[in-house]
Amino acid sequence: MEPILIAFALAVVAWLLVVGDLVRRHRPAWHWYLTGYPVTAWRVASTWRRVALLNDLAVSRLPARTLVGHLLVKGDPVRPVAPRISFPRATRMGLTVVVRLHAGQTPATYMQAADALVHAWKVHAVRVTSPERGLVLLTATATDPLLRPGLASAPAELLSALIGALETGGAWVMNLRLVPHWLIAGATRSGKSTLLARVITQLAPQPVALVGIDCKGGMELGLFADRLSALATSRREAVAVLTALVVDMQERMSTCRTAGVRSVWELPDKLRPVPVVVLVDEIAELYLSDGTRQSKAEAEQCSTLLLRLAQLGAALGLHLVVAGQRVGSDLGPGVTALRAQLGGRICHRVNDPGTAEMTLGDLNKDAVTVAQAITAQERGVAVCTGPDGGWARARSHLTPTDEAVATARKHSGMTPELPAIERALVALEGDVK
């Protein structure tokens, strides 16, 4: 009987392992609630005091029997007291812990101890936030939620693009009505071009005009020419397109002033001009010059025109999505001024810390550190800003080039005409001839 029992026990263990592996792969949330959360919660409770002591989160309290001047009575040690924490609360792929701060403590101390908590609790990451004064919320994620993020759902809105998924499992949305201008930074093969393709795919079915500026000969944005109202493939063409847009912006101002409104969105539908989204691929090509007088003049024109669109275009239905591999002050003072107007920020893997600092540094220093930790294998992963002023890791939905091109062609009939830009490009061709 004993060999039979052993064989039966081994069979049960094997069955549990197989079932557990299937549940982990196909129902990761169930696997976390059944097995991962209880173990991690016990680990949090059992290691908290030691982690607090080692990372200066505990505060020493004097014993009751002391003399004047805090002279300790011999034999009475100073007792370090760890901050009080709540019982770990399970989330879909992690847990949260609320910590009550000691008097004089700040959340910054807990941010510095985040790595120690990751190793002590054996989780993927620990995020530190402060929902209210005197409290710190520790949010632990068991595994990297962006390894297989899928695509979250979001309601369809005008000028809103569903890009991918956030590390929280929510939808990553670029809402141009909420945040009118965006800056996207990323090295080669980091996912920047795929993100632009995703944005075009999402905006193509909407009644908006898409204008492309791709000074690399149109190699990237030229694929979607069927849905673009205009495409500039050189800096001279970019100057002509941007100048026409500034003129159109002034006409929109006049329309709003005549109607007594402060935004095109307050105009009646019949009077409201079509929204325009300007997509700039590789901004460095607009700002760098070869030293000649004409090149410098074109670079200065591009800088001035982009800045005017960024400063005044939000209320007039003109939006910028600017992308580049390298974004730094060495491109010129105009880049810093433009960066200040681009409220939405997305930073993929970058080759230099200066670009990450330029993209996210003025908003959150912690976001810069996280962006620099993105590896070459994490294509599509980025650190993005949210409408609440915070930041999050996210991953864009993989949109194959042929799928994006097919979508652009499918909706080519919705491409609005922009006569002013067309006339500017025709006039430029005549000057060249």
pLDDT, residue 426, reads 85
pLDDT, residue 208, reads 95
- Residues across the chain: 433
Nearest Cα residue to 343 out of 367, 319, 327, 316? 319
Amino acid in position 295: S
**Which residues does residue 80 pair with via DSSP β-bridges, in sequence order?**
60
Residue 132 backbone class (left: φ over 0; alpha: ψ -120 to 50; beta: rest): beta
pLDDT, residue 430, reads 64
**Which residues does residue 60 pair with via DSSP β-bridges, in sequence order?**
80
pLDDT, residue 128, reads 87
Question: According to DSSP H, which parts of 92-234 are helical?
Answer: 107-112, 114-121, 192-203
pLDDT, residue 223, reads 93
Q: What tens-digit pLDDT sequence spans the chain (433 residues)?
A: 566 656 555 554 544 444 445 445 555 667 778 888 889 999 999 999 999 998 888 887 655 555 445 555 554 456 788 899 999 999 888 899 999 998 888 888 898 898 899 999 999 888 888 888 889 999 988 887 777 766 666 777 899 999 988 887 788 999 999 999 999 999 988 989 889 999 999 999 999 999 999 988 888 999 999 999 999 999 999 999 999 999 999 999 999 999 999 999 999 988 999 999 999 998 988 888 777 888 888 889 999 999 999 999 999 999 999 999 888 777 777 888 998 899 999 999 998 888 888 888 877 777 888 888 888 888 889 999 877 777 888 998 888 889 999 999 999 999 999 988 888 888 887 665 5
Query: Which residues, in sequence order, are CB contacts of 291 under 8 Å at separation 6+?
Result: none
pTM over 0.85: no
The pLDDT tens digits for 71-84 are 555 544 567 888 99
Helix (H) or strand (E) holding 381, with range, is: strand 381-385
SS (H, E, C) 290-333: CCCHHHHHHHHHHHHHHHHHHHHCHHHCEEEEEEECCCCHHHCH
Q: Tell me the domains of the chain and their CATH numbers.
A: 46-145 (3.30.980), 160-432 (3.40.50.300)
Q: How far is CA 238 from CA 231, 291, 409, in A?
A: 8, 19, 24
Alpha-carbon gap, residue 78 to 62, rounded angstroms: 5
- Contact between 283 and 307 under an 8 Å Cβ cutoff? The reply is no
